């Protein structure tokens, strides 16, 4: 008999919206709390029912659209995260910008199942609270992490395995908070006597987000300059990714593009080398690696020869070969229009969008507002010229930009809300009127 992954949520939703009080009050000193959900169902990150991940670092992106930053301390030091029953969870605040109304918080979740929905609770609003943000509690060898760089300012390995030296890189916007921009001849040196990295035949995982501005550069590399003793993540020409390890290589099959963000993960266990691009297995081979007991590491090059030009974010080295479900969930969770985490659940059950239709002149914008009490997750989808495009997730408001057109057009904006008992949608017809005269050209 098939089970409904939402069935066990009914009590959790009632608790979140205040209709039922928990038997024992958790975090009584905090003035505010709310519940959000992790969705691995087909309407979320879409993991198979067989998936089971342990101690997974979940990225929670807070946004002013559904989190009131004025109710928390200016630096977020009063934030706490717990299970639905109040057990505290380790977390790290990577960034907290109350002025912009955004924050990026990593939460170590003990267990995540496929095709399921799981509540998490946030607590905030305690003036005397002291921050418990702790990167080493979220990322450490017990869940496989040997080095983690969020590429913030300053550049730090949050696990503490390396003493990173920033050699000329600059801060820029990243996939999560800040990233580092490498302009050529710039990079990050992680040291030449690292003894905590995998050796011999592993297992191991090497990963990064990057956006390359030109070809023929090394995103990151570690090991030693001996055969087959190194892992090099190279962005080649034409744009492509190859993990080159002195004739123990594996190459991704799909062509890439310049100036686009990619999440690339290389996993290795004995004679099993795999490369994933944006959460999908894209290449495999059966080489034999023999990594040294002492390693060197560079981000942006190899042996201080920095040739990579572009942006780099979320670099990680692990002492396990991450399974495919882990790699997919990382991508689904970290990509800009992420599918794993929903917003704080609002009270009520009404689902409506205002206005119900709109006419907008080209070059102008029109705003929409959704009432979605009880919804676990929200998607905004634009349907135009036979193409459906996901344009926003987890926003109760959306601004449609008409852009420039050459003739009147129509489009449909769909608001899709995921509820415990199913999916609800509202289709909003939009008419775009031509309003800007095209210039006349004469020869």
CB neighbours of 180 closer than 8 A, spacing ≥ 6? 151, 155, 166, 169, 170, 171, 172, 174, 188, 299, 311, 312, 313
- pLDDT for the residue numbered 24: 32
CA distance 169 to 161: 21
CA distance 389 to 369: 19
Q: Is residue 1 part of a domain?
A: no
What SS3 class is residue 24? coil
Query: Are residues 272 and 239 located together in one domain of the fold?
Result: yes
Q: Is residue 19 part of a domain?
A: yes
Of 115, 134, 153, the domain-final residue: 134
Question: Which residues form the domain of 393?
Answer: 351-433
Query: Are residues 311 and 357 located together in one domain of the fold?
Result: no
Query: Are residues 127 and 151 located together in one domain of the fold?
Result: no
- The CATH number linked to 220 is 2.60.120.200
Q: Would strands 280-285 and 272-277 be described as parallel, antiparallel, or unpaired? A: antiparallel
pLDDT tens digit at each of 443 positions of the chain? 344 444 444 434 333 333 233 333 368 899 999 999 999 999 999 999 999 999 999 999 999 999 999 999 999 999 999 999 999 999 999 999 999 999 999 999 999 999 999 999 999 999 999 999 999 999 999 999 999 999 999 999 999 999 999 999 999 999 999 999 999 999 999 999 999 999 999 999 999 999 999 999 999 999 999 888 899 999 999 999 999 987 668 999 999 999 999 999 999 998 899 999 999 999 999 988 999 999 999 999 999 999 999 999 999 999 999 999 999 999 999 999 999 999 999 999 999 999 999 999 999 999 999 999 999 999 999 999 999 999 999 999 999 999 999 999 999 999 999 999 999 999 999 999 998 666 665 66
Query: Are residues 163 and 75 located together in one domain of the fold?
Result: no
Query: Are residues 255 and 223 located together in one domain of the fold?
Result: yes
Query: Are residues 12 and 117 located together in one domain of the fold?
Result: yes
Give which of 269, 257, 251, 254 is closest to 319, Cα–Cα: 269
Query: Are residues 44 and 161 located together in one domain of the fold?
Result: no
Q: Is residue 60 part of a domain?
A: yes
CA distance 223 to 208: 16
Q: What angle do CA 407, 411, 416 make, to 5 degrees?
A: 165
Of 88, 114, 134, the domain-final residue: 134
Give which of 213, 323, 305, 347 is closest to 268, Cα–Cα: 323
CB 206 within 8 A of CB 193: no
Q: Is residue 186 part of a domain?
A: yes
- pLDDT for the residue numbered 226: 82
Q: Is residue 127 part of a domain?
A: yes
Number of domains in the chain: 3
Query: Are residues 272 and 365 located together in one domain of the fold?
Result: no
Q: Is residue 335 part of a domain?
A: no
Query: Are residues 149 and 298 located together in one domain of the fold?
Result: yes
Query: Are residues 116 and 153 located together in one domain of the fold?
Result: no
- The CATH number linked to 388 is 2.60.40.3010
CB 269 within 8 A of CB 287: no
Of 298, 319, 340, the domain-final residue: 319
CB 285 within 8 A of CB 269: no
Give which of 124, 121, 125 is closest to 17, Cα–Cα: 121
- pLDDT for the residue numbered 249: 86
Q: Is residue 140 part of a domain?
A: no
Q: Is residue 336 part of a domain?
A: no
Residue 158 has a CB neighbour count (10 Å cut-off) of 21
Give which of 126, 165, 162, 170 is closest to 145, Cα–Cα: 162
What SS3 class is residue 329? helix
CA distance 96 to 145: 24
Cα diameter, the chain: 81
Q: In a 10 Å sphere around its CB, with 0-12 CB exposed, 13-18 middle and 19+ buried, how is residue 121 labelled?
A: buried
Query: Are residues 100 and 152 located together in one domain of the fold?
Result: no
CA distance 433 to 324: 47
HSE on the CB side for 322, CA within 13 Å? 30
- Phi and psi at 398, nearest 5°, equal -145, 135
* Adjacent-strand bridge partners of 81: 122
- Phi and psi at 328, nearest 5°, equal -60, -45
Query: Are residues 296 and 412 located together in one domain of the fold?
Result: no
HSE on the CB side for 295, CA within 13 Å? 27
* Adjacent-strand bridge partners of 34: 122
């Amino acid at each position: 008999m098939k089970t409904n992954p939402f069935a066990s949520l009914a009590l959790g939703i009632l608790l979140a919206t205040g209709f039922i009080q928990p038997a024992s009050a958790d975090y009584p000193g905090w003035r505010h709390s709310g519940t959000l959900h992790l969705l691995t169902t087909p309407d979320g990150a879409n993991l198979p029912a067989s998936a089971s991940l342990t101690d997974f670092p979940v990225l929670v992106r807070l946004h002013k659209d559904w989190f009131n930053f004025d109710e928390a301390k200016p630096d977020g030091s009063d934030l706490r995260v717990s299970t639905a029953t109040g057990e505290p969870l380790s977390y790290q605040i990577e960034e907290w910008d109350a002025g912009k109304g955004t924050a990026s918080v990593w939460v170590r979740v003990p267990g995540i199942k496929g095709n399921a929905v799981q509540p998490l609770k946030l607590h905030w609003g305690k003036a005397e609270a002291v921050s418990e943000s702790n990167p080493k509690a979220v990322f450490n060898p017990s869940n496989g992490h040997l080095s983690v760089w969020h590429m913030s300012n300053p550049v730090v390995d949050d696990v503490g395995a390396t003493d990173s030296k920033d050699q000329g890189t600059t801060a820029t916007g990243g996939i999560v908070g800040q990233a580092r921009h490498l302009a050529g001849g710039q990079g990050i040196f992680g040291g030449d006597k690292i003894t905590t990295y995998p050796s011999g035949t592993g297992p191991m995982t090497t990963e990064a987000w990057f956006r390359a501005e030109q070809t023929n550069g090394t995103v990151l590399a570690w090991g030693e300059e001996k055969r087959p003793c190194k892992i090099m993540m190279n962005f080649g020409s034409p744009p492509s990714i190859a993990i080159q390890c002195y004739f123990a290589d594996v190459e991704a099959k799909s062509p890439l593009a310049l100036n686009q963000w990619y999440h690339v993960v290389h996993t290795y266990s004995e004679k099993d080398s795999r490369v994933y691009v944006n959460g999908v297995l894209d290449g495999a081979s059966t080489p034999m690696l023999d990594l040294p007991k002492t390693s060197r590491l560079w981000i942006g090059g190899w042996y201080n020869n920095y040739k990579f030009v572009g942006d780099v974010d979320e670099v990680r080295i692990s002492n396990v070969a991450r399974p495919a479900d882990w790699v997919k969930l990382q991508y689904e969770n970290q990509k800009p229009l992420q599918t794993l985490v929903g917003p704080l659940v609002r009270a009520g059950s009404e689902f409506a969008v205002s206005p119900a239709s709109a006419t907008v002149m080209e070059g102008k914008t029109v705003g929409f507002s959704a009432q979605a009490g009880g919804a676990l997750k929200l998607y905004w989808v634009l349907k135009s010229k036979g193409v459906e495009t996901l344009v926003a997730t987890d926003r109760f408001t959306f601004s449609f930009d008409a852009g420039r057109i050459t003739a009147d057009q129509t489009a449909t904006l769909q608001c899709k809300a995921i509820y415990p008992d199913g999916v609800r949608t509202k289709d909003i017809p939009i008419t775009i009127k031509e309003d800007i005269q095209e210039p006349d050209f004469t020869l």
